[in-house]
A and B are shown apart, each in its own frame.
Chain A
């Protein structure tokens, strides 16, 4: 092979120093201030019942917020993925944070999750943020496990299924403030207690997984329990890591590989065993929803859940915020409800009629936005292709290397044999294949979704 001058892209680098009030950043470092760039809500912090005895919890939240700040502040390169981050965070207990096993576990976790390179250092806080008074603790009694909880279908279904086993012992940790705006006085872990005010230079935000894992882990630590349940079903937990497109890095945000490393970091930091569990990992979302509907009958409240990530201004009809109906998350929802034999009201989605021959024709007639806007069309294409490629992952030879590697990684993370993992993974994927085929088959022959898959479905 002859040498050719190929321009090697420069890896973007960002140095961020989390500063205390009035402190200036080191030369060449971007200043990030608590309460200006990382804004904590006293009300939501209060719901975490942090006390002087758990200052590590506050520092952990600052770390999670600072990681998100970095992730959102630096755009990824055009043709590659990786960025380099140097992050410095002030902490109350420097000795605890500066141990090599803590720092290396943290950096390994962030590297794997985001696909970037991280160097994290800690310095002692100049001024303790925590007051000297002892907080009155009011944590729920009898806790057995926690579950990070969103408005999503998996959250609703899996927490309800776990309630059957654990009853009051399952503590929900809200990832969004409860709808309606009224604060429930007694509610603990009522929302993510901070907001990151970074310019959104980057939209991939893979660090979201770190935020959820740290908040779930912190809640478990404060309650003195070991288990953090994550509600994601198989396609959502594994699919984004199994199917990659172009130069994108696998998405591990709900994947056992990432969770295994996050456990290692939290255990080293807190000296408390935290275990992340995905009870529906080997089931499709359709199977999860079907079981929920079966067990809860008419009281199953899946219809009010939200799967779509798109913002209100993009997908509202007559002033009402809908779900788009065509992005990967919406398509998985529709596929899963179809598989579970459930149906939804037509006005849930903006692009409601998937039998239509065009995306524009699928939109609600009252929708005033661009009916086949570029972004929506691209979301629809990416969503359909993702679920379609996932349906080919088990059988197509082109995925053989990635398939075997995925099995090895899952076996290592879950401490099971590759043979066992292969059986479970293939069973879940086989169910997805059948559900996908039935779902696509249920659409009209002229449907724009079916047209995308014309000319060689498998």
Chain B
């Protein structure tokens, strides 16, 4: 009934960094959410063609109450057949189709769609890291991630990432490097 474990665990360096911070009490929730966003930004760049945002904006950012939305559905269906639209792009198009069917067009519609797609992927990535801890580390780490899963997926940082993706259009993710924080003297950043 499933692929088994073999298809889910390969993680890029960014996702390993997220995993490293996710169950480490030396990292603040904000820092962990920041690392989650770095990984999500990398996923977006790798799987979503730069032109997708502009194409979705054309379909979604119509005045509310117009009938344009329904007309845009075939265009979105065509995007699903675009070889450049990989997993996350495909999922984003599916959320856009849903928004159009529900008449959710107008200002903010695009941001709403990208927000859903990014949160959806964040949830899958958090599950992956939970599995990673059970495989390679300890039950406590997996439990900590499970306990904070919703907080991470629903964090302001993830919502901001969706907004940034929409605003930036063609641009890639922010990747400000953080110092490694696993020593005795390292702790949560004081603001």
Q: Contact residues of A with B, CB < 8 Å? A: 1-6, 8-9, 11, 76, 78-82, 84, 107-108, 111, 115, 117, 203-204, 235-236, 239-240, 243-249, 251, 309, 327-329, 332, 375, 377-379, 381-383, 385-386, 389, 396-402, 404-405, 408-409, 451-456
Contacts and interface: CB of A to CB of B under 8 A. Distances in A.
A81 B147 CA distance: 28
Nearest to A455: B143
27 contacts: A1-B168, A1-B171, A2-B174, A3-B168, A3-B171, A3-B172, A4-B172, A6-B42, A6-B45, A76-B7, A78-B10, A80-B86, A243-B127, A246-B8, A248-B3, A248-B124, A382-B4, A386-B2, A389-B127, A397-B150, A401-B120, A401-B123, A405-B95, A455-B140, A455-B144, A456-B144, A456-B147
Please report whether the interface of chain B is mostly helix, strand, loop or mixed according to DSSP.
helix
B150 A398 contact: yes
Interface of B: 1-12, 15, 41-43, 45-47, 80-81, 83, 86-87, 90, 94-95, 98, 101, 116-117, 119-120, 122-128, 130-131, 134-135, 139-140, 142-144, 146-147, 149-150, 153-154, 164-165, 167-168, 171-175
A240 B2 contact: yes
A361 B80 CA distance: 48
B86 A79 contact: no
Given A2-B171, A80-B47, 19 more contacts: A1-B165, A4-B172, A5-B172, A79-B10, A203-B6, A245-B127, A247-B10, A247-B87, A251-B2, A309-B4, A328-B1, A328-B2, A377-B135, A379-B5, A382-B8, A385-B131, A386-B2, A405-B98, A405-B116
Nearest to A333: B1
A251 B124 CA distance: 14
B142 A452 contact: yes
A196 B57 CA distance: 45
A327 B10 CA distance: 19
A8 B81 contact: no
B14 to A, nearest CB: 9
A388 to B, nearest CB: 9
B138 to A, nearest CB: 10
B131 A84 contact: no
A82 B87 contact: yes
Nearest to B175: A4
A454 B15 CA distance: 24
A240 B2 CA distance: 6
A248 B5 CA distance: 11
Given A396-B150, A452-B142, A111 B135 contact: no
Given A245-B131, A382-B4, A6 B46 contact: yes
Contacts of A249: 87
A6 B172 contact: yes
Closest 5 CB pairs of A and B: A455-B143, A246-B128, A456-B147, A378-B5, A1-B164
B146 A455 contact: yes
A451 B116 CA distance: 32
B173 A381 contact: no
A203 B12 CA distance: 21
> Could you say which of A3, A6, A249 has the most chain B C-beta atoms within 10 Å of its C-beta?
A6
B5 A381 contact: yes
B143 A115 contact: no
Nearest to B8: A245
A455 B46 contact: no
A81 B86 contact: yes
B68 to A, nearest CB: 20
B125 to A, nearest CB: 6
B123 to A, nearest CB: 5
A402 B90 CA distance: 13
A386 B100 CA distance: 31
A382 B119 contact: no
Given A245-B128, A248-B8, A405-B94, A111 B80 contact: yes
